[in-house]
Amino acid sequence: MRKKRWIILPFLIFFIGFVYTSLVYDGIWFKFVDGLQTLSIIGYFLWLIFAFYLTLALHELGHFIAFAVQKVKLRALYLTIFVFFKDEKGWHFRIKPKLWVLFGGLVVPDLRDIKDEKAYEELSKKFARSLITAPIVTITFMVLSLLTFVLILIFGNYPHLLGIISINTLYITLLSSLYIYTFKLSNPMFYGDFVAYRKMKEDHVFQLAQISQYTMFSLGESEDSERYLWERSKQTIESEPVSVSLFCIMVLTNYIDGILHHGYAHDLMLDSKLSQISLPALCRTEQGLSLAYDLCFYDYYRGNPEGAYQKFDRIQKRTNQKLDPKMVLYMRNRAAHLIHLEDQSLFLDNQENLYIGNAWIFDALMKPYEMLKAYHNPLPYVEYSCPVVLLEEQKSDLN
């Protein structure tokens, strides 16, 4: 592969030289340089910001409009610090400077009424189409920008306009190329649009985790939808290998949550699968640690406090020391409170002690602290005891 690159390089250099010579000969290059010189240094910076938000807005609108055209309701559109969101009263706008950490955008659909297989499959297809629409919009806009630049460069006679078009085309091309590069990237926490599109169509665990995750942002709650997605989680655990990957953890969490907080009946056939999950492996990540404690709660809820307490002790020994100390302490004290090891009411009543992770990003759509407090109620008490038999020692009469 490297040899082929070395063969292509001379031809590429020749092509660039040929194009540059032609531009200089026809006077187009000087027109291009004169146009750029009409811009100030501040102008270069301001047009960079403009190009960034233009490319970002068009990309996210690709997702947004694709959902809307397919009649999927929407909750929010994030463009770095600018948030457009919907509540019961309609659409609102808010500026949140802390959201610079996103350095990008986000579209949040309002998923509800997923009551059967047909609705679920249709929604999965709509989700996949939305994922692929945005990259198409980005690529199309970059191509159109380049074509517009070439036409203006050849036929335009206004240096300042040419300068504006030139610098914006340069920025748009660079930013769009960066986006296109990220579309193909993935890691355990991030999936580019191309990767997510493929996984949404082929990976049932990823598909279910994504759809279940977005239902928490729905304006209207549906018990039928919650029940169906729980049943789907149950079927997925039955049919797919259990692992400690992020999306498998999300599906497992959804299954256990349905049993603990909605009273759904647990499946004895799945208990063996849950017992196979590596507790030390779970304790390496934030999401895994949360599931590890859920497994404690699951044991306690099913009347096995001994198993729950043993898991609790093992988690303390296996928790990754590099994890956020505040998160580790919160999860530890909450778990001890839920399984009646300790009374941590005062700790849990203090909002400063609560850990919401990245949920603050969505505080325009939900109340993360209120949602946490709903999970602070101890589980129904289960007695943990063992019989003790006292035998009276009989003393022989030596007299």
The predicted pLDDT at position 392 comes to 64
* CA atoms within a 13 Å half-sphere pointing along the CA-CB vector of 369: 7
Q: Would you say residue 29 has pLDDT above 80?
A: no
Residue 21 has pLDDT above 70, yes or no: no
Torsion, Cα 275 279 282 284, to 10 degrees, reads: -170
| pLDDT interval class at 37 (50, 70, 90) | confident
Question: Tokens in use for 262?
Answer: 């909605």
Q: Give pLDDT tens digits for 73-131.
A: 999 999 999 999 999 999 999 999 999 888 889 999 998 889 899 999 999 999 999 99
pLDDT category of residue 11 using cuts at 50, 70 and 90: low
Residue 264: per-residue pLDDT: 93
Residue 259 binned pLDDT confidence (cut-offs 50, 70, 90):
very high
pLDDT of residue 158: 84
Position 17 scores a pLDDT of 62
Instruction: Indicate the pLDDT class of residue 399, thresholds 50, 70 and 90.
Output: very low
Could you tell me the pLDDT band of residue 13, with boundaries at 50, 70 and 90? low
- Helix (H) / strand (E) containing 379: none
Residue 153, CA distances (Å) to 32, 165, 166, 174 in order: 7, 9, 8, 19
The model's confidence at residue 179, banded by pLDDT at 50, 70 and 90, is very high
Would you state the pLDDT for residue 14? 55
What is the overall mean pLDDT for the chain? 89
The band of 395, judged by pLDDT with boundaries at 50, 70 and 90, is low
In the chain, what percentage of residues exceed pLDDT 90?
70
Q: What average pLDDT score do residues 38-61 get? A: 94
Rounded Cα gap, residues 249 and 253, in angstroms: 6
Is a pLDDT exceeding 70 seen at residue 39?
yes
- What pLDDT digit, counting tens, does each position of 347-363 carry? 999 999 999 998 999 99
Alpha helices, H only, the chain: 2-25, 28-37, 41-69, 117-155, 159-183, 193-202, 204-214, 223-239, 246-262, 268-275, 279-282, 286-301, 305-318, 325-338, 345-349, 368-373
Residue 9, pLDDT > 70, answer no
Q: What is the pLDDT of residue 156?
A: 75
Task: Please give the Cα distance from 269 to 267 (Å, whole number).
Answer: 5
> What pLDDT, on a 0 to 100 scale, did the predictor assign at position 381?
94
Residue 372 and residue 367: Cα distance in Å, rounded? Answer: 9
Residue 1: pLDDT band (50, 70, 90) is very low
CA distance 156 to 28: 10
**Stretch 335-343: mean pLDDT, rounded?**
96
| % residues pLDDT > 70 (the chain) | 88
Q: What is the pLDDT of residues 273-311, one digit of tens each?
A: 998 899 999 999 999 999 999 999 999 999 999 999 999
pLDDT at 235 over 90: yes
Q: What is the mean pLDDT of residues 22-39?
A: 67
Q: What DSSP state is assigned to residue 229?
A: H
Q: What CA dihedral angle connects 92, 98, 103 and 109, to 10 degrees?
A: -40
pLDDT reading at 214 higher than 60 = yes
Give the per-residue pLDDT at 323.
Answer: 96
Confidence (pLDDT) at 150: 86
Q: Which pLDDT belongs to residue 268? A: 87
